[in-house]
Amino acid sequence: MSRKKEILNLTGSQKLAIEAYVFLCAKFEKCFFWEPTHMNVSSRRNYEKSNTFTFKDEVFELSFELNVSCRHYYVYKTCLVNGISHNCKYLKNLIK
């Protein structure tokens, strides 16, 4: 069984969205083990807002949500290409 490499022509906005998603995935890769030190509730919510990302068009649906509790960071990611779930590595290969 051979898998054909999917060829997609990316627009400028799609490429920027993919790069932002990949950057956030790399930045918060092992964030569950981080502790939000010296952060009050307001600063945690502002940090969540600045690191939450959503992009949706007819081909891509990318969503990156960060939640910061008193003890841990939680990341929720969604990456759909043509309705099929993929991981961040797939997106990295698309923008090469």
Instruction: Return per-residue pLDDT of the chain as tens, 96 residues.
Output: 445 556 678 888 999 999 999 999 999 998 878 888 888 999 999 999 999 999 999 999 999 999 999 888 999 999 999 999 999 999 998 888
Contact 20, 52 (CB under 8 A): no
Please give the pLDDT value at position 60: 93
Q: What is the C-alpha to C-alpha distance for residues 96 and 80, in angstroms, rounded to an integer? A: 18
Per-residue tokens: 63? 């969503």
Every domain of the chain and the residues it spans: 12-95
Tell me which H or E stretch contains 74: strand 73-81
Q: What is the pTM of this model?
A: 0.83
Q: 4 by DSSP, 3-state: which?
A: coil
